[in-house]
């Protein structure tokens, strides 16, 4: 099977690729060859291992997004300053040794004040905007580094990043709280209460966080409740800081469904109904929009 073109989402820990026929998926593949595992001269071999069977005799266009374009990636794709279209400013061609590859990287976006950057999320935003060209409001992209982006007239006007996901991961796996959070179940009521507390008093988070350990030791609080409360406090504090973005605005969520549902529940407690768009689908839609000239 020979692809018309190849879509690639190259993150820090994973490499994902799709063989495309127009805007349709013909095949897909993924590996653990993320950016963090590779030296600059190892990117092309990693890509060929994954997509080599899809290449024909001529050069096949490979349109890529994500950390492959970071300073530590294959080739640095300079950030485009906002306000601008999410992914319509051209791509960076990459020098390759295999003549069958024509690799292009989508640049990330930057903001001067307050200083901020995104790389990879701009492609998801481009996919959403391609499907919803009249959208005027806020896109929230929950993840390790959650983005809140103001989109208007098919442009990203401004955005802010919150390290909520990374803080949750660090506290739950590397802090003293790890002894009290070893659970995968969920308590929706505990989460909802904590969201309200985080929104109303975000400054008390550090004290509340340690109370999880004390509640576990003194009152045998379950790990499920503790984990749900920690998540709720963090997301509530994020909503408090991001209030200028979502208050009185239409909001849509893009990302992994499970995490997006937590943000949707938190926003619903504030009277906001936020529809959810699957992150993988939006990434692929954005790559297709760039490749097919729709942005």
Same fold, 1-114 and 162-277: yes
Is the pLDDT at 1 greater than 90? The verdict is: no
Average pLDDT over residues 237-243: 98
Question: CA 269, 271, 273, 274 torsion: positive or negative?
Answer: negative
How would residue 253 be classed by pLDDT, with cut points 50, 70 and 90? Answer: very high
CATH of domain 1-114: 3.30.420.300
Q: Report CA dihedral (211, 203, 262, 186) to the nearest 10 degrees.
A: 0
Terminal Cα-to-Cα distance of the chain (whole angstroms): 28
How would residue 184 be classed by pLDDT, with cut points 50, 70 and 90? Answer: confident
Q: Where are the domains of the chain?
A: 1-114, 162-277
Question: CB within 8 A of 39, min separation 6: which ones?
Answer: none
pLDDT of residue 69: 97
Average pLDDT over residues 194-221: 96
For residue range 27-52, list pLDDT tens digits in order.
Answer: 999 999 999 999 999 999 999 999 99
Is the pLDDT at 293 greater than 90? The verdict is: no
For residue range 88-132, list pLDDT tens digits in order.
Answer: 889 999 999 999 999 999 999 999 999 999 999 999 999 999 999
Cα–Cα dist 62/51, whole Å:
10
Average pLDDT over residues 239-261: 97
pLDDT of residue 285: 97
pLDDT of residue 5: 97
CATH class, range 162-277: alpha beta
Bridge partners (DSSP) of residue 251 are 138
């Amino acid at each position: 099977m020979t692809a018309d073109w190849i879509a690639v989402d190259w993150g820090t820990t994973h490499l994902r690729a799709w063989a495309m026929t127009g805007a349709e998926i013909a095949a897909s593949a993924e590996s653990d060859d993320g950016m963090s595992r590779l030296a600059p001269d190892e990117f092309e071999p990693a890509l060929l291992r994954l997509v080599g069977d899809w290449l024909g005799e001529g050069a096949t266009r490979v349109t890529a997004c994500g950390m492959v374009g970071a300073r530590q990636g294959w080739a640095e794709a300079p950030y485009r300053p906002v306000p601008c279209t999410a992914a319509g400013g051209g791509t960076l061609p990459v020098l390759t040794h295999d003549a069958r590859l024509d690799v292009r990287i989508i640049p990330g976006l930057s903001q001067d004040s307050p200083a901020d950057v995104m790389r990879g999320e701009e492609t998801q935003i481009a996919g959403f905007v391609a499907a919803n060209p009249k959208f005027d409001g806020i896109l929230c992209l929950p993840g390790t580094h959650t983005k809140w982006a103001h989109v208007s007239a098919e442009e990203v006007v401004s955005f802010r990043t919150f390290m909520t996901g990374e803080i949750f991961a660090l506290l739950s796996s590397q802090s003293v709280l790890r002894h009290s959070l070893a659970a995968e179940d969920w308590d929706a009521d505990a989460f909802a209460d904590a969201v309200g507390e985080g929104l109303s008093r975000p400054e008390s988070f550090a004290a509340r966080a340690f109370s999880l350990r004390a509640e576990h030791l003194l009152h045998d609080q379950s790990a499920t409740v503790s984990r749900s409360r920690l998540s709720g406090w963090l997301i509530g504090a994020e909503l408090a800081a991001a209030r200028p973005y979502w208050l009185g605005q239409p909001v849509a969520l893009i990302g992994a469904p499970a995490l997006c549902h937590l943000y949707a529940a938190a926003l619903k407690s504030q009277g906001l109904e936020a529809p959810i768009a699957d992150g993988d689908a939006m990434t692929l839609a954005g790559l297709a929009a760039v490749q097919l000239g729709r942005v």
